[in-house]
Amino acid sequence: MSDEEEANARFKTLFALPAEHNLTLSGTRKESSNGSEYESHWLEEHDAGEQLIARFRTWTRKSLRPPYSKQIGWERYSLKGELLDREVRYSRRPDTDYLH
């Protein structure tokens, strides 16, 4: 299984897509700003008949300066641009010993 196929399978599981649906990458963006690094990907969901039915945006934001943190998330949009579903996760350290 190629890296792209493996990533596709992980996203399908994460988004709880039917097995007959496929995802294709339609865009990627990376940038750094104000001590953080951002990366986002746009994916298109196609049904078994290869008809486009939804779009997903996934993202990661990592702070490059203390206190280090990370945010990952995804959103699912209808073809009209309406937000259908969203999940965001934030990193958290188990203690505050790193604070000054």
Report the percent of the chain where pLDDT is more than 70: 92
Give the SS3 label for residue 11: helix
pTM of the model: 0.80
Asked if residue 85 has pLDDT above 80, the reply is: yes
Can you list the pairs that 87-94 forms with residues at least 24 positions away whose Cβ atoms lie under 8 Å?
93/67
Q: Where are the beta strands (DSSP E) in 21-81?
A: 22-33, 36-46, 52-63, 70-77
- What backbone phi and psi angles, to 5 degrees, belong to 58? -115, 150
Q: Looking at residue 98, what is its pLDDT?
A: 56
Q: Give the pair of three-digit tokens for residue 99.
A: 């604070």
